[in-house]
Structure 1
Amino acid sequence: MCGRIANTLPHDAVAKLFDAVPANALPQLPDYNICPTQDVAVVTQEGGRRYRPMRWGFLPHWYKSPTDGPLLINARAETVAEKPAFRKAVRERRCLVPCSGFYEWYREGGEKLPYYFHRADGTPLVMAGVWREWGEDALPTFAVLTTEANALMAPIHNRIPVVIEREHWGKWLGEEGHGAAVLMRAPEDDVLAFHRVDKAVNSNRAEGPELIEPVAA
């Protein structure tokens, strides 16, 4: 799964990279420990590309409140088109989630050992997402798609985020007709790199650039 993100990408640079119109109010960056229920800036296609904040944690239309059911931070690529919560969104409301990287944990005995994953080439990591607006106030919410782990991730965790390469951004956003389903796969084994980081990030209150710095395994 993907349950924690780091983002140091300047908003103006990201908006320019995606040729998207930025919202007036965007989450404060850098943020080295973005947790579910926080706002994340994502890219959507709404008659033109928009770069806008959304709550991380997809809210189906039948939820009476944000805590009315499980916190849906991820959607499984294998079943997203079938699940009632996500099936309409994956057809009509897909988004791109740019970030610097994400954390994943490996359980060793009673310990949770954190690892930081990022693109090996140093470019922004762009994950696939689905979104919808919820409630009378049309609160925008999203979930990150995950799929079965590739060989790189498998020793750490059995799931990995779906990563969308630059040449496929338009297809995922629905700008090139149908066919986005073929993008819901694990990245090639050489796309990401990772290293152990300090257990300080186990706390959702931790913050600072030291969270993504390598530590001895």
Structure 2
Amino acid sequence: MCGRFALTATPEQTAAFLGLAELETFPARYNIAPTQPVLMVLAGPSRAPGSNLPDRQPMLVRWGLIPTWVKDTREFPLLFNARSEGAAQKASFKTAMRHRRALVPASGFYEWRQAGDKGAGGSKGQPYWIRPRHGGLVAFAGLIETYAEPGGSEIDTGAILTARASSGIAHIHDRMPVVIEERDFARWLDCRTQEPRDVADLLRPAEPDFFEAVPVSDLVNKVANTGPEIQERGIVGPQAEKVRRQKSGGDDSQMTLF
């Protein structure tokens, strides 16, 4: 699962990573949530004359895919993730898998330790900031669908494909976003000659040591918290209370940080 992620690189860094001529200026985003606009990249219609850059088109899309056949969006679930194992056959995703595969640039994503570790009071449990171990950007596998509203207006929507978690982070959650490696960008985006079955081998977990998981405070739980402080190392719930008791002279009114 991927319900929150971040993109904190500069537009120049992001454009270079994705092979784009340029990107409009945008701020660092530390807590991107479903229904918000996210940057995705599609294969473009044509290559600019004299350009040696790949043919790619950036788009801002609503994070939460709406298939074209939906009649009432109020009664349709929020599809911000798509299980890669059946996306090519599932009615909600099969058209996008064939015609509108995309890349979703990210600096990392957030995940919460699964049920069984949840604290009292309905807490989501311990959140983690999961980032590339060696830094830099990653590109998640994405899908885009343009939905025509009954009034005639159109909205571009998208989802992130997930796979089973690699052994390095499976203790936190059993799913993770599919990461497309740079050498595979062109093949993943090529919906003209590469059918879903031709790129199925790319829908796999990242290598076990690709990501590192940093425990963070529960600030990330609230969408309104959008600053870099949500990525600072910390613990929540019973673990935090245990650390406070063990730390001599600690101030119980403050969250304990490593």
Does structure 1 residue 122 correspond to structure 2 residue 135? yes
Give the AA of the match of 1:97: V
Alpha-carbon separation, structure 2, partners of 1:67 and 1:50? 30
Measured against aligned partners, the alpha-carbon deviations of 1:77-100 in whole angstroms (never above 9, x if no partner) come to 111011101001111110000011
Output aligned runs, 1:29-178, within 5 Å. 29-47=27-45, 48-106=55-113, 107=115, 108-110=117-119, 111=123, 112-135=125-148, 136-174=152-190, 177-178=193-194
Count of matched residue pairs: 215
Aligned position for 1:208: 227
- Structure 1 residues 176 and 66 mapped into 2: Cα distance closer, same or farther (>3 Å)? closer
Going from structure 1 to structure 2, the CA distance change for 1:143 and 1:175 (only over 3 Å counts) comes to closer
CA RMSD of aligned residues (A): 1.8
List gaps (5 residues or longer) in structure 1.
Answer: none
Moved more, 58-67 or 177-186: 58-67
Deviation at 1:22, TM superposition (A): 5.0
Bigger fraction of residues in helix: 2
| Structure 2 portions without partners, runs of 5+ | 46-54, 240-258
Q: Name the SS of the counterpart of 2:109 in structure 1.
A: strand
- String of CA shifts for 1:26-83, please: whole Å, max 9, x gaps: 7x42111111000011111122301121110000112235433000000001110111
Residues 61 and 21 (structure 1), Cα distance of their counterparts in 2 relative to 1, 3 Å cut: farther
Quick check: 1:130–1:144 contact (8 Å CA) kept in 2?
yes
The CA distance in 2 between the partners of 1:176 and 1:197, in whole Å, is 42
2-side partners of 1:68 and 1:17: how far apart?
38
Equivalent position of 1:195 in the other structure = 214
Tell me which stretches of 4 or more aligned residues in structure 1 moved more than 4 Å. 21-24
Q: Percent identity?
A: 37
What TM-score comes out, normalization by structure 1 length? Answer: 0.92
Instruction: Output the amino acid matched with 2:118.
Output: G
With normalisation by structure 2, the TM-score equals 0.78
Distance 2:183 2:133 in 1: 17
